[in-house]
Every structure is written in C-alpha cells, then in structure tokens.
C-alpha cells in the first residue's frame, strides 16, 4: 500500500475544518471541469464536525450545492428516521441546512430488503458514473480497521463485480448496505477521517504495520488518485500542543 498523505491536526473540530476545506476545493475544481460535483458521505460520528462546518457560512456558500450530488458510503438497514441511520445524521447536520436539490441526494434505502436496496443502489451508481467513480469519497475507520461497512473477514471484501452489496456487522448482526472497495477506489480523492486515542493503535498498524486487508479492510482503500488521512493528534498517538 503506497503511503497516503497524512495530515495531523490538533483536535476533531480542526480535522472537520480541514476536511470541509478539501471538499470546497474539490467541488470548485470538479464543477469547473465537469459541471458537477459528486461526493460520497461517510457514516458514523467522526464526520459530524465536517458536516456542521459545511452547512455553515462561509464554507456552506463556497460549495456549489446546486451542482452537487451526494451519495452514501454505507447505511444501516433501518428507516431513515432511525437514530442509527447514517442518512439521518447527514440530513440533520448537513443536508437539511444547505440548498442541495432533493433529487441530488441519493439515499441508500435502509428500510428496504438489504439485497434489493444494494442492487438498486449499484444500478444507480452505474447510471451516474458508468465505469468511473465519484469526485470525493469520505470515509471513517473503526477501531477494528473497518471502513464504510467493509468489516474484517467479510465476504464483501472479495466483491469485485458489484459497486454496492448487502452485508452484516459482525458483532451486532445488524444488516448493512455498503459500497465496495473496487468502486470506492475509483474516486478522484479519498479522505479518511480518524480521531480519538481509541483508534491510535489501529491507525499505526494500518499505516505502518503489515498489509493485511482481510484483517484491516481500510487497507483495501488504495485509489489510483489521491488518498489523504486527516487525523487528530490523539489518533496519531501524539500529545496535543499545549495552547500558547
Ligand atoms: C458507519 C460508518 C463506519 C464508520 C466507522 C467509524 O456506518 O458506522 O460508515 O465505517 O465510519 O465505524 O465510526 P465513528 O466515526 O463513529 O468512529
């Protein structure tokens, strides 16, 4: 796995601000180049700061929402109103606060049969991207090295044909829908956000340890183009700078 670019910042809020800035820049470049911007959102809690910043001036007004299409990296198989829903988190912290046309928010239907929903989403992605991929993919990382809903040892790790599959979260048995590594790797830019001391050992293993994607699926994320890890000092195993 070639070394990705690694950015280490003081705290989760600063990580969020850096991610928002990267997205603003990518959006403006994409719209100039292709007339639209395609962004895959991450689930979990880490992206919350970035989404809040993206939904607040000035960043909100620097993103060309009318030209932006939003997709999801994964979803829990629950209704969109469920507290577990990644869509609900993104809608509450971002999508409901910005002028993105509703038809440009491509939600994974967590309320439907997982296989049917994954198939429908994959067909939509093929319509949207053909054999290509999105401009930007946002990802988080679990303490076990999973990303999206690509979990250690999962059959989803072996998927090479489909862009989106149904899967199961091992410990809870929760049904999930997830984009697959081959599709995620088609992105022009992948941003992995990692914060918190609890992830420090795993992050070091992922970036500096042996390459073992079955055990640490985030190591499958190896796009042909740009890969940036944006971390805080806690996740990087460093001490925060003492304030002046
Ligand atoms: C999900 C996410 C998942 C997440 C990691 C990190 O649906 O939970 O897609 O891959 O990014 O589990 O989660 P936190 O950001 O909550 O630590």
Instruction: Please spell the DSSP secondary structure of 219-243, one letter per residue.
Output: GG---SSEEEEEEETTTTT-PPPPP
First to last CA, the chain: 38
Q: What is the pLDDT of residue 86?
A: 98
Quote the tokens at residue 182: 């081959």
Pick the atom of ligand 1 nearest to 178's CA. 9
- Helices (H), strands (E): how many in the chain? 7, 9
Q: How many residues does the chain have?
A: 244
pLDDT tens track for 24-76? 999 999 999 999 999 999 999 999 999 999 999 999 999 999 999 999 999 99
- Asked whether 46 lines ligand 1 (CB < 6 A), one says yes
Element (H, E) at 60: helix 59-62
Q: What's the pTM value of the predicted model, to 2 decimals?
A: 0.96
| Cα-to-centroid distance, 45 and ligand 1 (Å) | 6
pLDDT tens track for 189-204? 999 999 999 999 999 9
Nearest residue (CA) to ligand 1, atom 13: 44
Pick the atom of ligand 1 nearest to 150's CA. 10
């Amino acid at each position: 796995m070639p070394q990705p670019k690694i950015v280490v910042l003081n705290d989760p809020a600063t990580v969020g601000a850096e991610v928002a800035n990267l997205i603003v820049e990518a959006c403006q470049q994409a719209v100039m180049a292709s007339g639209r911007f395609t962004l895959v959102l991450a689930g979990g809690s880490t992206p919350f700061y970035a989404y809040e910043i993206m939904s607040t001036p000035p960043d909100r007004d620097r993103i060309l929402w009318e030209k932006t299409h939003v997709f999801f990296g994964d979803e829990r198989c629950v209704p969109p109103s469920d507290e577990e829903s990644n869509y609900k988190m993104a809608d509450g912290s971002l999508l409901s606060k910005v002028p993105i046309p509703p038809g440009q928010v491509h939600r994974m239907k967590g309320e439907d049969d997982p296989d049917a929903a994954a198939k429908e989403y994959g067909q939509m992605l093929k319509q949207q991207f053909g054999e290509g991929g999105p401009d930007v993919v946002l990802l988080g990382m679990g303490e076990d090295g999973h990303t999206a809903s690509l979990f250690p040892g999962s059959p989803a790790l072996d998927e090479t044909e489909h862009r989106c599959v149904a899967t199961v979260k091992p410990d809870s048995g929760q049904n999930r829908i997830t984009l697959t590594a081959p599709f995620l790797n088609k992105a022009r830019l992948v941003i992995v956000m990692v914060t918190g001391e609890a992830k420090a050992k795993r992050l070091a293993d992922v970036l500096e340890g042996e390459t073992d994607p079955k055990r640490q699926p985030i190591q499958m994320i190896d796009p042909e183009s740009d890969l940036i890890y944006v971390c805080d000092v806690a996740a990087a195993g460093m001490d925060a700078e003492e304030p002046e």
